[in-house]
Amino acid sequence: MCVLCSQSLLVETHWTDRRTDAGEPVATAGNDRERQRRRDWQHRAQLLNHVLGHYGLSLDNWQNRHYVLSDRKGRSEIVTDLGTLWPAAAQLLGHPLDPLDPQLVEVLSGVHLAREGC
């Protein structure tokens, strides 16, 4: 990791950030692409906070390049993608986050029902 910008020098792109279009790799240069990437980045943080909030965790966007994952004790970890997020969250919580966790399922189902006005 670079000590100035904290950017990893040997980046292995997580599958959720990899894509190919019609057999060609997607170029990452260009303003439009960068704007779209930032929108996607922020959108993902919003979605993640719905899930992480159940566990007392929160995610803040840092320069549209990293996320800062924090718990209620004030501990925090810098993560770069979903590949680093889940291990970091498990480290802070002491157990992995599980989408099959009945309590999480119940909470998220409740959010859904509340939104539908049930």
Partner 1 sequence: MSPETKRPIIVVTGFLGSGKTTLLRHVLTGQPAHGTAVLVNEFGEVGLDHHLVRRVDEQTILLNNGCVCCSVRDDLVRALSSLLDQDQRGTIARIDRLVVETTGLADPAPILFTIETDPMLRHHFRVDRVVVTVDAINGQRHLDRHAVSLKQVAVADDIIVTKTDLAPPATVSDLVARLRVLNPTAQFTTAVLGEVEPERILAPRHSRVLAGQQTAETTARDESEHIGETRSLALTFEQPLDWAAFSIWLSMLLYAHGEDVLRVKGLLNVGEAGPVVLNGVQHIIHAPEHLPQWPDADRRSHLILILQEIDPQQIVQSLQAFQHLLGAQLSSSDVRG
Task: List residues near partner 1 by CB under 8 A.
Answer: 10, 12, 14-16, 18-25, 40, 43-44, 47-48, 50-51, 82-83, 86-87, 90, 96-100, 104-109, 111-112, 115
d(CA 47, CA 118): 22
CB nearer to partner 1: pick between 48 and 92 = 48
CB nearer to partner 1: pick between 4 and 29 = 29
Residue 4 CB-half CA count within 13 A: 1
Question: 36 is written with which tokens?
Answer: 């779209």
CB nearer to partner 1: pick between 74 and 113 = 113
Q: Angle CA(91)–CA(46)–CA(54) in degrees, nearest 5? A: 50
Least distance in angstroms from the C-beta of 25 to partner 1: 6
CB nearer to partner 1: pick between 4 and 27 = 27
Contact by Cβ (8 Å): 57, 41: no
